[in-house]
A and B are shown apart, each in its own frame.
Chain A
Amino acid sequence: MEFKFTEENLKKIEEAVKKYPVKKAAVMPVLYIAQEQNGWISQEVIKEVASVLEMHAEDVLGVVTFYTMYHKKPAGKYHLQVCTNVSCMLRGANKIYDHVKDKLKISNGEVTDDNLFSLEEVECMGSCGTAPMIAVNEDFFENLDIQKVDQILESLNK
């Protein structure tokens, strides 16, 4: 599927490029803009980003694969990120992670059949003092227990 930036996003890109002395330095913000428009980073997106920033597509691909926050395949409408690193683990993150897996019947990196949820086990998100946590897209839900997780999933399911 062909990918072209919207007029509005092209303006955003122009703004992003201004922050740096070199055009290619804007590749990370531009990839975020692309991800927001397309939902994930496809080969077509990579080609378009490369052409907008006058880069080699390979260099863009290299950046995409290095950073975990660029989706290499479509994610669900709600991308659930469960931290299982030490501070969260000590406060029951694994139970929460297993509960989410059971409830949604998907495992790490998978998307539910209705494309509503995707799940990712993530590394420390900086919520150690309010552990355990789940991030839903950009929002952090902290100090969780199983009940609260159920509430979150239910509210998103509506």
Chain B
Amino acid sequence: MEKIVLPEIKNLHLIDVYEQNGGYTAVKKAFGQTPDDIIDQVKKSGLRGRGGAAFSAGLKWSFMPKTTDKPKYLCINGDESEPGSFKDRQIFEFNPHQLIEGILITAYAIQAKTTYVYIRGEYHKWIKLFQKALDDAYARGYVGEKMKETFGKEFLVDIYVHKGAGAYICGEESALMNSIEGKRGYPRVKPPFPAQNGLWGCPTTINNVETITNVPAIINKGWEWFSKIGEPKHPGTLLYGISGHVNKPGVYELPTGMLLTDLIYNYAGGVTGNKKILCVIPGGSSMPPLRGDQIEGVKMDAESLKAVGTSIGTAGIMVMDEDTDLVKVLARIAKFYYHESCGQCTPCREGTGWMVKILNRLVNGEGSTHDLDLLISVASNIEGNTICALGEAAAWPVRHMITRFRDYFEQRVKKEVVLPVANKVHSMRHTAFPLADIKE
């Protein structure tokens, strides 16, 4: 199978090697066509976003206004902070020029003159690697002022790297824009959507790193070719990141619609110690987990995963063997969202903290079955009641883990309800009166 995003070519990260392998020809081809042609091809190719929502990339671009006095912006989302995802760093390291070429084509398609590549701050090494590639591309005249000479076209674009500083929420597109604007990374209320009101109030498109890296191949080889790879409704390849209890964890580029079992047993070398699988999270920690006995026959693409009650997310597959303490895992996931909640919306800010407290009670063996229902109730009250999707991301793992592993969790808590909250209030009232009595 041919690889699109991470081809196995030695030293492809070097601009010379990239050029020798047909690099920067797609952008030349694209500049010979109209922006609408490009959008049309990407739409027809069926390319869907690789950052989690799996939204049609071409359709997203078509939302950008055609006539406007304001400057237009393109943002590339390389915040990659979802636990279980480690794919974009491979692109920064091994194929940065294809990302740059993808940016040039995308910027041309939406007529953006400035692009910000948002890379998470912890990726110091990968920021340096990408910046080096970008500097080389500037020096060869593929980006910036010299573009006119290189391509003989009036269109030019500047690409800047914006380094994050450790906030998961900045992977949310509107928080990402606030972060670029030099503000706290608070998600914005939508509508207005970024295509109308994005960076500094101007039309903006935000795409994931992996999505954009696919674009040059679509332009060069045609949308028909791309649309025939993998699952028809979610075509192309995915960078599957497999982690946890497997023998060969890592990133594997394969067509969409791979069998989950195939990925785990054949590509990732099976489960460590030949144990059974207890649980698999298929798309990064915010996606609903699957039971080990549910994964047979499950295909990895947006539609197939939706059918089994979970989601493709970033295709970060976390595998847990039969000896995993799921209560601890869930408590850790909840702690993550508690830490990363930006604090704007009360349900998320407070609810994530409550879930951590209750789950820690469970970890310490002090939980009750009542706590399980309480957790689901808190999760359900966060979901749908927040500005951004972090609410869902925090609620889904809790709600689905407990629902799908109810037997497991009930075994762990066994104890019946000891002291309902109402009794506590009642007993406090009682203590107030004797104190008054003593005074007399």
Which A residues are closer than 8 A to B by beta carbons? 19-22, 24-29, 31-32, 59, 62-63, 66-70, 81, 84-87, 89-91, 122-131, 135, 138-140
B144 is an interface residue with CB less than 8 A from chain A: no
Interface string of B177-192 (1 = CB under 8 A from A): 0011111110000000
Docked complex Cα distance between A130 and B244 (Å): 10
Q: Does B250 interact with chain A (Cβ within 8 Å)?
A: yes
**Cα–Cα distance between A131 and B121 once the two chains are bound (Å):** 19
Q: Are A67 and B244 in contact, with the CB atoms below 8 A? A: no
Query: Separation in Å of the A88 CB from the closest CB of chain B?
Result: 9
CA distance A69 to B83 in the complex (A): 18
Across the interface, do A139 and B165 meet the contact criterion of CB distance under 8 Å? no
Contact A89 B89 (CB under 8 A): no
Which of B89, B163, B332 has a CB less than 8 Å from the CB of A86? Answer: B332
Whether the pair B84, A128 counts as a contact (CB closer than 8 A) is yes
Q: Which of B9-17, B32-40, B122-130, B372-380 contacts A (4 or more CB under 8 A)?
A: B122-130
**Are A123's CB and B83's CB within 8 A?**
yes
**11 CB < 8 A contacts A-B:** A24-B182, A59-B183, A63-B183, A67-B166, A67-B185, A70-B165, A89-B332, A124-B83, A124-B84, A128-B85, A131-B243
Q: Considering residues A24, A28, A32, A139, which has the most beta carbons from chain B within 10 angstroms of its beta carbon?
A: A28
The answer on a CB contact under 8 Å between B125 and A138 is yes
B318 is an interface residue with CB less than 8 A from chain A: yes
**Contacting pair B332 A84 (CB below 8 A):** yes
* Closest Cβ neighbor of A135 among chain B residues: B122
Q: How far is the CB of A119 from chain B (nearest CB, A)?
A: 16
Contact mask for chain B residues 328-352; partner A; CB cutoff 8 A; 1 contact, 0 none:
1100110010011010000000000
Tell me if B210 counts as interface (CB < 8 A to partner A): no
Is the Cβ of B332 less than 8 Å from the Cβ of A85? yes
* Residues in B whose Cβ lies below 8 Å from that of A67: 121, 164-167, 185
Residue of A nearest to B248 (CB): A129
Q: How far is the CB of B349 from chain A (nearest CB, A)?
A: 14
Q: Judge whether B165 and A91 touch: CB under 8 Å.
A: no
Number of interface residues of B (CB under 8 A): 54
Partner of A128, one of B88, B167, B200, B243: B243
- Please measure, in the bound complex, the distance between the C-alpha atom of A68 and the C-alpha atom of B121, giving whole angstroms: 10
Question: Number of residue pairs across A and B with beta carbons under 8 Å?
Answer: 138
Question: What's the Cα separation between A62 and B120 when bound, in Å?
Answer: 19
Answer whether residue B80 sits at the interface, using C-beta atoms and an 8 A cutoff. Answer: yes
Q: Which residues of A contact B285 (CB under 8 A)?
A: 85-86, 124
**Which B residues are in CB contact (< 8 Å) with A69?**
121-122, 164-166
Identify which of residues 218-245 in chain B touch chain A, using a CB-to-CB cut-off of 8 Å: 241-245
Q: Which residue of B lies closest to A90 (CB)?
A: B244
- Asked whether, in the complex, the Cβ of B85 is within 8 Å of the Cβ of A86, the reply is no
Q: Determine whether the beta carbon of A86 is less than 8 Å from that of B184.
A: no
Q: Which residue of A lies closest to B122 (CB)?
A: A125
Q: Is the CB of B244 within 8 A of A66?
A: no
**B:64-115 near A, CB below 8 Å:** 71, 80-86, 88-89
A126–B88 alpha-carbon span in the complex (Å): 9
CA distance A21 to B73 in the complex (A): 11
Known: A126-B89, A128-B85, A130-B86. 5 other contacts (CB 8 A): A28-B163, A86-B333, A87-B83, A91-B244, A128-B318
Given contacts A26-B182, A126-B81, contact A90 B320 (CB under 8 A): yes
With known contacts A90-B245, A128-B316, A28–B179 Cβ distance under 8 A = yes
Residues of A within 8 A of B243 (CB): 87, 90, 128-129, 131
Contacts of B318 in A (CB 8 A): 86-87, 90, 128
Q: Which of B234-288 contact A (CB under 8 A)?
A: 241-245, 249-251, 281, 285
The 10 closest A-B pairs by CB, nearest first: A67-B165, A68-B166, A128-B243, A69-B166, A138-B124, A124-B83, A87-B243, A27-B182, A66-B184, A25-B182
**Pair B160/A19 contact, Cβ less than 8 Å:** yes
* Complex interface: chain B residues within 8 A of A66 (CB): 167, 184-185, 342
Determine whether the beta carbon of B80 is less than 8 Å from that of A126: yes
